Amino acid sequence: MAVTIVPSSDAGEDATRLAAALVSLDTTNPGLVTGAPGERAAVEHLRSRLDRAGFTTHVLTPHEDADRPSLVAYPPDSERLPTVILNGHLDTVGPGAMVEPFSARVVGDRMFGRGAADMKAGVAALVVAAERAAEFGVVRPVLALVADEEDAGLGSETVIAALPALGIRPDVCLIAEPTDLALARSVRGFAVVLVRIGGRAAHSSQPDLGTNAVSRLGRLIAAVDEHAPRVRAAGGDLMVTVARGGESPFVIPAAAECVVERRVAPGETLVEVVTEIRTLLEPDWDTTIEVLAQREPWRCDTAGPARRWGEALGERLGTGWGLDAPYWLEAPLWQRVCPTVVSGPSGGGLHSDDEWVDLAQLRAFTRVLVDTLGMPELWGARAD
Ligand SMILES: [Zn+2]
């Protein structure tokens, strides 16, 4: 294989240095913060590193936005090996009120900075592990380092769509999102639904001549709140997060609307939860429903390659299948392509003003990843 790695001392230390380099680059998602730079600086940094390591690299951009690059990289001449997707996102939420968000300051075993835990440390571990796995020749590591996970998911969608044309047929995928090194059992999905409610305008001195859409909206909000405990008991969540209606004083409001958010437990379907929201509307109301965004829930396979690899990772990391993620992450997208496992180094302050990653977790994760990618007994040969 034409891959030339200059191995630095230790995979964990190598990943720590790369994590610091990535945290020092501002890759705030411009879908979340207008005018933010996006993923380009991280893509360029990693592409030049992986080019030097002899990897084949591709920069992919979605049709919607040529300025949102994702990076795919793999060692050449490795198609015959079991193909392992190593997935992480390069974008971050905005720095908010963080002090020195891009300094990668280290205090003890904590590295501070926006994206340190979510998820530049995870990305650094994946890159170092891929470089070393290329030397072992047991699996074909395919890095899928994507844009826009924190917003619309354009990056993973773009990379997944491009896999067949790139000749990549994945056998298993690891997403290194921060989980405190636990293996994710499940991820909740969500549906965000806009409900528009009609009424009839009239002068407020003669309310009987009109129909008050804001009153109907109030009844809907009350119905949502009343139903929410049953949803929550079944592992979901239900709430109204935006409400507006009416035009001015002295006018019976002819229109009102709200956004109903539903977190979807594994086992529920998106169709069911939208139907459930419809049942909360009174039948004689003039309403329309529009699904603004929806994502499926996910459960990790209970057998097969994701399970086997997860067991091997958990055993060596001293963790296990301990996480049911209440928030969404991209596992259901990758599961459509191949069995998927989720585990990665974490810390604290994700999406808040003091984000940090635990460097002991980063080192342990990187070393264990390298070890498991070099175990022939775990991977065997490709079936076809
Ligand atoms: Zn993340």
Residues near ion ligand 1 (CB < 5 Å) are 118-119, 177
Indicate the DSSP class of residue 54: T
Q: What angle is formed at CA 207 by the lines to CA 204 and CA 208, rounded to 5 degrees? A: 160
Q: 205 C-alpha to center of ligand 1: Å?
A: 53
d(CA 90, ligand 1 centre) in Å: 9
- Distance from residue 115's CA to the centre of ligand 1 (Å): 8
pTM listed for this prediction: 0.91
% residues pLDDT > 90 (the chain): 92
With 0-12 CB in 10 A as exposed, 13-18 as middle and 19+ as buried, what is 142? buried
Distance 126 CA to ligand 1 centre (A): 14
Q: How far is the CA of 326 from the centre of ligand 1 (A)?
A: 13
- Residue 177 Cα, ligand 1 centroid: separation in angstroms? 5
Question: Ligand 1 centroid to 155 CA: how many Å?
Answer: 13
Domain 189-295 has CATH 3.30.70.360: yes
Distance 221 CA to ligand 1 centre (A): 31
Distance (angstroms) between ligand 1 centre and the Cα of 23 equals 14
Judge whether 325 and 186 are in contact, CB under 8 Å: yes
Q: What is the mean pLDDT of residues 78-106?
A: 95
DSSP class of residue 182 equals P
User: How remote is the CA of residue 118 from the centroid of ligand 1, in Å?
Assistant: 5
In the reported structure, the alpha carbon of residue 285 is separated from the centroid of ligand 1 by a whole-number distance in angstroms of 40
4 pLDDT above the threshold of 60: no
Residue 114 structure tokens: 């926006």
User: How remote is the CA of residue 375 from the centroid of ligand 1, in Å?
Assistant: 28
Going from the Cα of 39 to the center of ligand 1, the distance in angstroms, rounded, reads 14
Q: Where in the chain is the domain with CATH 3.40.630.10?
A: 11-186+298-379
Distance 150 CA to ligand 1 centre (A): 7
Q: What is the residue-averaged pLDDT of the chain? A: 95
* 179 close to 365: Cβ distance less than 8 angstroms: no
pLDDT the model gives residue 149 = 94
CA 119–ligand 1 middle distance (angstroms): 5
CA of 166 to the centre of ligand 1 (A): 25
Residue 383 above 70 pLDDT?
no
Q: Give the 3-state secondary structure of 316-384.
A: HHCCCCCEEECCCCCHHHHHCCCCEEECCCCEECCCCCCCEEEHHHHHHHHHHHHHHHCCHHHHCCCCC
203, pLDDT greater than 90: yes
Residue 316 reports pLDDT greater than 60: yes
Which pLDDT score is estimated for 132?
97
| Among 121, 120, 143, residue whose Cα is nearest residue 130 | 143
Give the pLDDT score at 1. Answer: 47
Give the pLDDT confidence of 15-34 residue by residue, as tens digits: 999 999 999 999 999 999 99
Q: How far is the CA of 334 from the centre of ligand 1 (A)?
A: 15
Task: Report how far apart the first and last C-alpha atoms of the chain are (Å, whole number).
Answer: 21
Domain with CATH 3.30.70.360 in the chain: 189-295
State the DSSP string of 294-321.
EE--EE--SSSHHHHHHHHHHHHHT--S
Residue 381: is its pLDDT beyond 90? no
Q: Please give the CATH superfamily to which domain 11-186+298-379 belongs.
A: Zn peptidases (3.40.630.10)
Q: How far is ligand 1, taken at its centre, from the CA of residue 158, in Å?
A: 17
Residue 351 binned pLDDT confidence (cut-offs 50, 70, 90): confident
Residue 362 Cα, ligand 1 centroid: separation in angstroms? 15
pLDDT at 9: 72
Residues 287, 309: Cα–Cα separation, whole Å:
49
Q: Residue 78 C-alpha to ligand 1 middle, in angstroms? A: 29
- Ligand 1 center from residue 183 Cα (angstroms): 15
For the stretch 49-72, pLDDT in tens is 999 999 999 999 999 888 999 999
CA of 2 to the centre of ligand 1 (A): 33
Report the C-alpha gap between 115 and 93 in whole angstroms. Answer: 8
Any idea what the Cα angle at residue 123 is, between residues 140 and 37, rounded to 5°? Answer: 125
| Mean pLDDT of the 274-297 span | 96
Taking 80 as the threshold, does the pLDDT of residue 336 lie above it?
yes
Express each pLDDT in 126-182 by its tens digit: 999 999 999 999 999 999 999 999 998 999 999 999 999 999 999 999 999 999 999
Residue 64: per-residue pLDDT: 86
Say what the pLDDT of residue 335 is: 97
